[in-house]
Amino acid sequence: MDVTVNERNISSEVGQLIEKTLAVEQSFPDLRKEAYLTFQRLGLPANKAEEYKDTPIARTLQKNFNFQSASVKGKIDPTQFFIPLVEANVIVFINGFFSKEHSTIISPESEISILPLKEAVKGNNPLVLKHLGKYADFKSDALTAWNTAAWTDGVFLHIKKNQTVEKPVVIYYIQDGSDQEGLSINRNLIVSETNSKCTIIEKSDSVGKQNHFSNTVTEGVVNENAELNFYFIQNDSGNRYQYNLTQFYQSNYSRVNTFTFTLNGKLIRNNLQLSLDGEGIESHMFGLYLLDNDTLADNHTVVDHKKANSFSNELYKGIMDGSSKGVFNGKIYVRPNAQKTNAFQANRNILLTDKATVNTKPQLEIWADDVKCSHGCTTGQLDEEAMFYLQTRGISKETARAMVLYAFAGEILDNVAHAELKTYLDQLVSERLHKNF
Amino acid sequence: MLSIKNLQAKIEDKQILNGINLEIKPGEVHAIMGPNGSGKSTLASVLAGREEYEVTAGQVDFLGKNLLEMAPEERAREGVFLAFQYPVEIPGVSTINFMKTAMNQIRVHRGQQPLDAVSFLKVMKEKMKLVEIDQSLLNRSLNEGFSGGEKKRNEIFQMAMLEPKLSILDETDSGLDIDALRIVANGVNKLRNKANAVIVVTHYQRLLDYIVPDFVHVLYKGKIVKSGTKELALELEAKGYDWIKDELALA
């Protein structure tokens, strides 16, 4: 009973925060209002909420956040977090605020237009008016409703028709928790026009001992025969709590490839949802979570096959050390019209300690009869037989362990197409796994 | 080179080795034969340092050092090599990278400079010829999807690369057709010299037609119950293991 009362408290505290934002934010008043009402109706997910049963987000926020002080602009130098050797358009948010001085756009306007979302709204950008709030489903998730009602900053990416954007776009979400608790609510919109191609990287980093929470929603539409490559690199301090929803709506023959790398942080909840509303679509979702200490990383994915003849493939792999916790929930829907769908999903986990855990749940709901779908999940310890084999060849136990784990992770890295980014990710993973060979 | 005295070992609560005594000198080939479950593979595993086995008594001296105190990788670096009965598949680790890592860790242990990529490849090409193995196989993930014969050939390739002083071949003949058997045995024979020794663990005599042993030992219920020369293997082949069991029963 107490728990329920407390949850109501945190939800109403957040509700008050939203009201404060509503009082100052002028854009999308109707959408924000509707989302706020939805938030009030839903409340933050209770402990028994099915979609959050392994990630008690309401309780966690209540325990670790006051939400009293307003966020302030940090003084941190964000360049320390920049991905080296990857020439890119750079968008920086510090404590949720768009930082113009640290952002750089190098791609020509003919390929892509990159605008702070507020600026795009101010200029009555017709695409923003048309698409914002249309894909990220806030009706069933209180955290997305919160974001939709109370976002403050964000970016709008418009990838132009028939254009290949040569340089990727990197969005940095940097939290400075040195002085005080932090809260960031960012919202992004991506419109990929027909026959376009682009790579986008979202990277979150943070410093400081104070807790910080970010709620980031990225929604978008990927039009016919367009390709969108999307990377998440989550390598934060142990005080970062984050909720992310990324939702794309795909048209005929479009291709979306997503990569989610989670290496550090306190609590990470990633909702990744693809709607395949067309034929000949190809979607790949890759995930690699290398967790340690008491990190909790929860990946909830949805692939929704709405029409015939599309393909989706999902591979998430995790290594849990310390007392970390991994959660994977993969939903695949194949609607009645989606005949000849090919949908594959796999989740593989290694637990390195007795205290580390993983909860994995594939959920396939198939209403069409002529489809090929498969799913599989495995969870095991480090392969002792492989370790012994390597050791009998003179390889130290540490190296053998790194070899086996690196090989496990390598299956994800192998799929990264961007060479310099791959080098960078390889280095992150290698360091993490103490690769010394 | 290797001196085993009263070696006893168990796994979980099951006693498997019940006092093994064996002396091996440089240049010698010893065959260990015996019926299923007699402890042959356990002996090979204990010598290589497999952790699941607990040594309950006895000593093993290898070139003047206490082998039983060493971790598996130290044993390898000192010159012990185990060719596995069931070589492990390790997806994502190529044989080449794995061998380069192994060789260089062994070289560093021996006070030698690690090999650079070019020198390593040169050595590798030489050894590949010796065991008739193709480089395309070595570029692939270690043993992944290899046929039985390819896996065993890869074991002998690794043996050639690491140049052990004592090689233990654990049922290397199992699952091989006659051609593969001949290639594998040829590889082993080419690697033999006066300074190294080989233990051939096998259930059948046929491998010993190709790798001719100096001594044959029969293991039964965790003990060496009979030792002899290569003729003993032929006798076992003709009479079967029941002959030994009957002889023991009478005694």
Chain B CB within 8 Å of residue A380 CB: no
Is A190 found in the same domain as A92? yes
Position B56 scores a pLDDT of 96
Contact A277, A418 (CB under 8 A): no
Is A243 found in the same domain as A224? yes
Position A435 scores a pLDDT of 85
Residue of B47, B89, B93, B143 to mutate for A, most A C-beta atoms under 10 A? B93
Mean pLDDT, residues A314-341: 97
**Which ipTM was obtained for this model?**
0.96
> Do residue A388 and residue B51 have CB atoms under 8 angstroms apart?
yes
Please give the CATH topology (third level) of the domain spanning B2-250: Rossmann fold (3.40.50)
Q: Please report whether residue A431 resides in a domain.
A: yes
For A37, half-sphere exposure in the C-beta direction (CA atoms, 13 angstrom radius) is: 5
Position B203 scores a pLDDT of 87
Q: Please report whether residue A10 resides in a domain.
A: no
Rg over alpha carbons for chain B, rounded to the nearest Å, is: 18
Position B18 scores a pLDDT of 95
User: How far out from the chain centre does Cα A397 lie?
Assistant: 34
User: Residue ranges per domain, chain B?
Assistant: 2-250
- Look up residue B148 and give its two tokens: 């039985």
Is A310 found in the same domain as A289? yes
3-state secondary structure of A56: coil
Q: Please report whether residue A388 resides in a domain.
A: yes
pLDDT tens-digit profile of A164-175? 999 999 999 999
- Look up residue A339 and give its two tokens: 């005949």
Is A417 found in the same domain as A371? no
**Which of A35-39, A350-354, B185-189 is least confident?**
B185-189
- Look up residue A191 and give its two tokens: 């419109």
Dist CA A336 CA A199 (whole Å): 32
Minimum CA–CA partner of B47 in chain A = A392
Mean pLDDT, residues A374-388: 94
Q: Please report whether residue A124 resides in a domain.
A: yes
Is residue A119 scored above 60 in pLDDT?
Answer: yes
Contact A244, A216 (CB under 8 A): yes
Contact B30, B3 (CB under 8 A): no
pLDDT tens-digit profile of B35-64? 888 999 999 999 999 999 999 999 999 999
Is A409 found in the same domain as A354? no
How far the first Cα of chain A sits from its last, in Å, is: 55
Share of chain A above pLDDT 70, in %: 98
Is A258 found in the same domain as A135? yes
Containing structural domain, residue A404: 383-437
Position A129 scores a pLDDT of 96
Please give the angle made by the CA atoms of A173, A174 and A175, to the nearest 5 degrees.
Answer: 125
Minimum CA–CA partner of A406 in chain B = B92
Position B249 scores a pLDDT of 81
Q: Which of A336, A366, A382 finishes a domain? A: A382
Give me the torsion for CA of A83, A84, A88, A92, rounded to 10°.
40
Is residue A240 scored above 90 in pLDDT?
Answer: yes
Q: Which residues lie closer than 8 Å to A119 by C-beta, 6 or more apart?
A: none
Dist CA B213 CA B231 (whole Å): 10
- Average pLDDT over chain B, rounded to an integer: 93
> Which residue in this structure is represented by tokens 């290797």?
B2
B203: closest CA of chain A, how far (Å): 22
Position A68 scores a pLDDT of 80
Dist CA A403 CA A437 (whole Å): 8
Nearest to A212, CA basis, from A236, A190, A235, A194: A236
User: How far out from the chain centre does Cα A70 lie?
Assistant: 25
Contact B60, B19 (CB under 8 A): no
> Do residue A394 and residue B158 have CB atoms under 8 angstroms apart?
no
**Which of A60-69, A217-226, A276-285 is least confident?**
A60-69
Tell me the whole-structure pTM to 2 decimals: 0.91
> Do residue A395 and residue B101 have CB atoms under 8 angstroms apart?
yes
B35: closest CA of chain A, how far (Å): 25
- Name the DSSP letter for residue A71: P
> Do residue B88 and residue A386 have CB atoms under 8 angstroms apart?
yes
> Do residue B90 and residue A404 have CB atoms under 8 angstroms apart?
yes
Is residue A6 scored above 60 in pLDDT?
Answer: no
Position A7 scores a pLDDT of 43
Is residue B234 scored above 70 in pLDDT?
Answer: yes
A383: closest CA of chain B, how far (Å): 9
Q: Which residues of B108-145 are buried (b: 16+ CB within 10 A; e: fewer)?
A: eeeeeeebeeeebeebbeebbebbebeeebbebbbbee
Is A169 found in the same domain as A118? yes
- Count up the domains in chain A and report the number: 2
> What is the 3 state secondary structure string of B104-159?
HHHHHHCCCCCCCHHHHHHHHHHHHHHHCCCHHHHHCEECCCCCHHHHHHHHHHHH
Mean pLDDT, residues A308-335: 98
Q: Which residues lie closer than 8 Å to A181 by C-beta, 6 or more apart?
A: A65, A66, A67, A68, A69, A210, A211, A212
Is A322 found in the same domain as A417? no
Position B245 scores a pLDDT of 84
Mean pLDDT, residues A98-122: 97
Q: Which of A363, A382, A401 finishes a domain? A: A382
Nearest to A291, CA basis, from A271, A314, A268, A270: A268
Q: What element of type H or E holds A212?
A: strand A212-222
Option in A389, A397, A410 nearest B92 (CB): A410
Chain B CB within 8 Å of residue A433 CB: no
Mean pLDDT, residues A3-14: 68
Minimum CA–CA partner of B114 in chain A = A437
pLDDT tens-digit profile of B13-30? 999 999 999 999 999 999
Position A282 scores a pLDDT of 98
- Average pLDDT over chain A, rounded to an integer: 94
Is A244 found in the same domain as A107? yes
Mean pLDDT, residues A370-386: 95
Sheet holding B29-33, edge to edge: B80-83, B166-170, B197-201, B29-33, B215-220, B223-228
Is residue B204 scored above 90 in pLDDT?
Answer: no
Q: Which residues lie closer than 8 Å to B122 by C-beta, 6 or more apart?
A: none
Mean pLDDT, residues A241-263: 98
Amino acid at A161: K
Share of chain B above pLDDT 70, in %: 100
Q: Which residues of A222-237 are buried (b: 16+ CB within 10 A; e: fewer)?
A: bbbbbbbbbbbbbbbb
B234: closest CA of chain A, how far (Å): 32
Minimum CA–CA partner of B87 in chain A = A389
Q: Please report whether residue A296 resides in a domain.
A: yes
pLDDT tens-digit profile of A38-87? 999 999 998 788 999 999 999 999 999 988 877 777 778 999 999 999 99
Mean pLDDT, residues A320-340: 97
A437 neighbourhood in chain B, CB within 8 Å:
97, 101
Is A422 found in the same domain as A340? no
Position A5 scores a pLDDT of 45
- Look up residue B174 and give its two tokens: 């199992």
Is A366 found in the same domain as A401? no
Q: Please report whether residue A13 resides in a domain.
A: no
Share of chain B above pLDDT 90, in %: 80
